[in-house]
Chain A
Amino acid sequence: MNTHGQRTDSERVVVTGMGWVTPLGHDIETVWGALMRGECGMAPITHFDARTFPTSFAAEVKGFDVAPQLKDPRAHSTAGLNSQFALGAAAQAWAQAGLSERPARNMRRVGIYLGAGEGVIDTPNYLATNLGAWDPAIGKTNGVEWAKLGHSLMGAASEIEQEPNMPLAHIAREFGVRGPSYNCLTACAASTQAIGEACSILRGAEADVMIAGGAHTMIHVLGITGFNRLTALSTAGDDPTTASRPFDLTRGGFVMGEGAGMVILETLSHARSRGATPLAELIGFGSSADSYRITDIQPEGRGAAAAMLQALAQAGIDPRGRRPDGRPWVDYISAHGTGTKENDSIETLAVKRVFGELARDIPMSSVKSMLGHLIAAAGAVEFITCVLAIERGMLPPTINYTTPDPECDLDCVPNTPRKAQVDTCLSNSFGFGGQNDTVCVTRFVE
């Protein structure tokens, strides 16, 4: 594959629209403003009664109504929370890209690549069915009783909405998309992977425009239970707003978030043909698998480093080189930075492995300190923060940073945002299960 600089306009991929629905707001300006003020979206969980759970707080999306953004809200009346977030973010991105006024040449060459998670379980009815059919005398579920309860308690719409490709189906329907469409689910890496593969589809001339991103919520009984049992969630609940502490010595796990991030990617030649304004250019993507253990990250950061190196190679960037003015070629890394002991120290190690001595000169912050961890949607939201950092010359901070950790000794932009010349960023996402993805985005230059 040609590296950046050797690509033709039909191989260059630009971002022309962005949108997000997050715990800190439902549009680009509101959320960016909150990030620049170091605000935090965490609070006690309201989606269900979590008061006695080891973790009773999360970063929930508040007061969001997708209907005003839709052409025909009735067409999406069955949409679950996941799909609503996806539709809201996609509608913003579609609008910013001006795809209604200056449409794509051919809707068969408009595709979708999402990293969306499964929909929300119909918890009360699902659990009522399972508990009602359980026969404690024999220690087994009574199948006939389960079928009877399941058919009567659960409903078609909410069950089908749990399929992970439903956000994609809703978006296709809303915008009339008929090109290549995928949903991937590689846990926390999903939407970064979606953006990367969407870029690959565009470069391979399979499409002119791709809607890419992710949506997810796991703030439900079984989601919080699952991560609590894995001891991956922060349980420091005295003040939820200080619970997510990436790179800090006192960090104790991530805080669950929810929401969606979507971007419009298109080939430069297509963007030019319809007069769209490039916001940034996507120049590199790397993907790897840890291939190590089910529960642990490869301790030397092998997989994470491989993803970063592959993205940089595709971008034509020498990680050990400097620009003529002395700056590293990468100005900012949006860290995966979950706030778990293991992730943050290994990510630090991996970044050093890639950039060597230069690693210390590259700011690397985690917006998960403010937004929580949007799981499958995290990567897309963080990609958008990279584009905004380039556009506005500001770096979002890592808040709640109080105690340095010698194993996380890079510049995490502690506590306050920073003005900076930002031309090129990496965005890292590492999935539970070992999938690692990095994308490289840069300022668009003709």
Chain B
Amino acid sequence: MRHGAPRTFVTGIGPVSGFGLGIDPLWKGLCDGVSAIRPITAFDASGFVTSVAATILPEHFDIRSIVPKSHRKATKVMARDIEIAVAAAHTAVHSAGLTTKGTAEGVPPTIPPDRFGCHIGAGLIPADADELACAMFTSRTPDGKFDPEAWGRTGMPNLTPLWLLKYLPNMLACHVTIIHDCQGPSNTITCAEASGGLSIGESLRVIRRGDATACLSGGAESKVNYMGMLRQTFAQRLARVPAGASGTEAVLPFDPTACGTVLGEGGGMLILETEASATGRGARTFAEIAGFGASQCCCIDTVGGDLSGAGEDIAAALECALDDAQVRPEAIDAVVPFGSGIPSIDAAEADALRRVFGARAGSLPLVTIAPQAGICGAGASALAACVGAKCVAEQKLPARLNTKGSKALGVDADARAACAAQLRCVVVMTSGMGGQTAAIVMRRVP
């Protein structure tokens, strides 16, 4: 951290997960050792290698009741990823006790709008299959193929004029910044699962350079849709879950028998705020974002998503984050890794942990949430960051499921119950498909 830059605190956390909206149901579920992985009901997924995911249920939230009345009409052009981001931002703002245009219109906001930034990790949002096919069905050749000539001539108006706006990745931030009147620096990071972590890093940089007092920061995605499931299948990331199986035992992070992951829906937004602003308003502080590091893996299989052999690169991000926080590895008391159960990535992460922590890696507790909340795409690292901040605030580690043999990889990830722990610093690290890694050091604020 540069001399003179403000310290940055997490004053609000807004996770959205298969457990529902907010940290309370998520934390309870994680600590109780419950899994939110369940059969996919939004569509018939039985044609895919898995038909389970940690899905958000309709009863978890109703987007229309979350947004202010003035923004209700705009919910019609929200893809699911946008809904998740908006819900997460809503939860984070309330968690931090902030007043924004979105919580109370006409009341002076806690953070001046031009000092309120927003950085959101987003994924590639696929068009709704029903909407697209319904619109295009009349634009087919006699043999059933898409006919661009007919589409251009008569079909195109079948799509609503604002159709594209549901699917641009920056529309997550567009809606969130409008609702909460964030006029400061705003960005959308699209680096797969590392997106949320990189967004938090960017918010930190923006706050440190003095361009914002606070930022809404995180990520959101659901790949629980046709294209998302297909691409993850092609990338050989999904665990095969036979029809009828619950899937709650399918994800085994760092276990020699691991065979892939299960998708989740969700993500999270955090409120990052300068120390001066947070203490000035007497805000509750979950943790300090003490350091951040990022790196790129350029190993031979980067393109295509295989991170095997990338341990050195992941370790580099971790070391940068520790340097930035000015802490030694000994000060880290737990790590929230990607921990997906995808063998090549687990191996790379374990390698990184051994490189940085040496023999201590075998007893450094890992917080593995994928068996319970799945892997939420661009929301994954933001959800992990919410959990990391909660661990620091509660001085507690949630339960771990499924894994039995993590010693083989030299790490501590075997199933166990939740427990109290002394946590000075917790690292959240995520490596995404494409080779980007983000590592965040969260420090306890006494």
B305 contacts chain A at the CB level, 8 A cutoff: yes
Interface residue SS majority, chain B: mixed
Measured CB to CB, the closest approach of chain A to B47, in angstroms, equals 3
| A435→B130 contact, CB < 8 A | no
Q: Which A residues are CB-close (under 8 A) to B294?
A: 111, 179-182, 206
| A433→B170 contact, CB < 8 A | yes
Q: Which B residues are CB-close (under 8 A) to A303?
A: 183
Of B132, B175, B296, the residue contacting A178 (CB under 8 A) is B296
| A231→B161 contact, CB < 8 A | yes
| B186→A186 contact, CB < 8 A | yes
Q: Which A residues are CB-close (under 8 A) to B178?
A: 291-294, 434
Q: Which A residues are CB-close (under 8 A) to B170?
A: 185-187, 431-433, 435
Most buried by A among B136, B206, B234, B316: B234
Given A156-B304, A160-B304, answer yes or no on A229-B159 (Cβ-Cβ < 8 Å): yes
Q: What band does the interface of chain A fall in when counting residues whose beta carbon is under 8 Å from B? A: 35 or more
Of B77, B149, B198, B305, the residue contacting A51 (CB under 8 A) is B149
Cβ-closest chain B residue relative to A107? B298
Which of B38-46, B327-335, B412-420 forms part of the interface with chain A? B38-46
| A141→B129 contact, CB < 8 A | yes
| A164→B152 contact, CB < 8 A | no
A145 to B44, CA, bound (A): 10
B169 contacts chain A at the CB level, 8 A cutoff: yes
Which of A22-30, A220-228, A366-374 forms part of the interface with chain B? A220-228
| A184→B185 contact, CB < 8 A | no
Interface of chain B residues 174 through 218 with chain A (CB within 8 A): 174-175, 177-178, 181-192, 198, 202, 205-206, 208-211
| A173→B298 contact, CB < 8 A | yes
Which of B57-65, B225-233, B273-281 forms part of the interface with chain A? B225-233
Cβ-closest chain A residue relative to B229? A147
Map CB proximity to A onto B267-302 as digits: 1 under 8 Å, 0 otherwise: 000000000000000000000000001111110101
Map CB proximity to A onto B147-179 as digits: 1 under 8 Å, 0 otherwise: 011111100110111111101111101110110
Of B161, B211, B230, the residue contacting A147 (CB under 8 A) is B230
Given A108-B295, A287-B211, answer yes or no on A51-B187 (Cβ-Cβ < 8 Å): no
Q: Which B residues are CB-close (under 8 A) to A145?
A: 47
Q: Given contacts A182-B202, A197-B205, could you give 14 more A-B pairs where the C-beta distance is less than 8 Å?
A: A52-B153, A128-B146, A143-B43, A160-B303, A160-B304, A165-B190, A169-B303, A178-B297, A179-B295, A181-B295, A205-B2, A228-B156, A294-B162, A433-B171
Give 10 nearest A-B pairs by CB, closest first.
Answer: A147-B47, A226-B164, A52-B152, A143-B44, A134-B133, A156-B234, A180-B294, A181-B296, A289-B186, A433-B174
Chain A interface residues (CB < 8 Å from chain B): 1, 48-54, 56, 76, 78-79, 108, 111-112, 118, 123-124, 127-128, 130-134, 136, 139-148, 150-151, 154-157, 159-160, 162-166, 168-170, 172-173, 176-187, 193, 197, 200-201, 203-206, 221-222, 225-231, 287-295, 302-303, 306, 310, 431-435
